[in-house]
Amino acid sequence: MFKRDLELERSWQNLLSQLEKAVGKKPKDLNGVLFLIGVQELGQGHRFFSKEEKQDLMHIGICKVLSLSGYYELEGLDNQGWPHWKLIKKLPHFDLLEQEKLLKMHVIEYFETEHKWIIRPEAY
């Protein structure tokens, strides 16, 4: 494992711990964190979501975090308040592991910039 990968994994585990403290339950995986971001960005609070809505919320989370690097741009909200995004810049062609790393880096950046959380452990 490269040093950069190790640093990413430490930051990721730190984020999961902070999310557990904030919401009372540790997200199982990246999809769980993207779902939480989607709920946050939807701004309608905690409520029951259908299976389709949960998928839409993960998509919102993905678009939001990738918007930090200019891949997506918010087009606007529909009449029910759901955000819609458009692809601005073509995403790099990565295998699944590289896609996961890209998303994790952007999720960490989202919490550091949008919510001012300190995610990266000081001692590497």
Q: Which residue is listed with tokens 């989607």?
A: 38
Distance of alpha carbon 88 from alpha carbon 92, whole angstroms: 13
pLDDT tens-digit readout, 22-34:
888 889 899 999 9
Q: Look over the chain and give the mean of its residue pLDDT values, rounded to a whole number.
A: 90
Residue 121 banded pLDDT, cuts 50, 70, 90: low
Q: Are residues 61 and 41 in contact, defined by beta-carbon separation less than 8 angstroms?
A: yes
Q: Where do the H-state alpha helices sit in the chain?
A: 3-23, 30-42, 51-67, 96-114
Domain ranges for the chain, please list them: 3-114
Distance of alpha carbon 80 from alpha carbon 15, whole angstroms: 31
pLDDT tens-digit readout, 50-88:
999 999 999 999 999 999 999 999 999 999 999 999 999
Model pTM greater than 0.85?
yes
